[in-house]
Amino acid sequence: MSEAFLASAQRLLEADQASPTDLTVASLAILSISMITFGKDALAKEYMALCIRMGEEMHMYGGDRYKIDQFSPISTEEASMLSHVAWGAFNVSM
């Protein structure tokens, strides 16, 4: 069952890479951890690197490399969700 879930997750990731979302970043962090439990450490590192890169491209991280006016206005709920995704992915990557 878990092998089928991972295969499905990998197929969905391939389809979602062209236009990633916050959910893609969160899913990559989980998929990376899952790969470790299956003994696929190299693939886990690859997924985590992709997770971090997507987060950077979506301006979830970056410190002062980005100016505040580059961000479109978002709701408090969306800002909270993005913060949780970014912080979670960052922590998993450490």
Confidence class for position 2, pLDDT limits 50, 70, 90: confident
* pLDDT at residue 64, as a whole number: 52
Output the six-digit token pair for 83.
């913060």
| pTM listed for this prediction | 0.73
Neighbour count for residue 36 (Cβ, 10 Å): 14
Instruction: Encode pLDDT of 3-22 as tens digits.
Output: 787 788 778 878 777 788 88
pLDDT at 67 over 60: no
81: Cβ contacts below 8 Å, ≥ 6 apart: 22
**What is the structure's pLDDT at 45?**
92
Q: How many CA atoms are closer than 13 Å to the CA of 61, on its beta-carbon side?
A: 15
What rounded mean pLDDT belongs to the chain?
79
The pLDDT of residue 30 is above 70: yes
To the nearest 10 degrees (0 to 180), the angle between helices 76-93 and 41-57 is 150
Report, in angstroms and rounded to the nearest whole number, the Rg of the chain calculated over CA atoms: 14
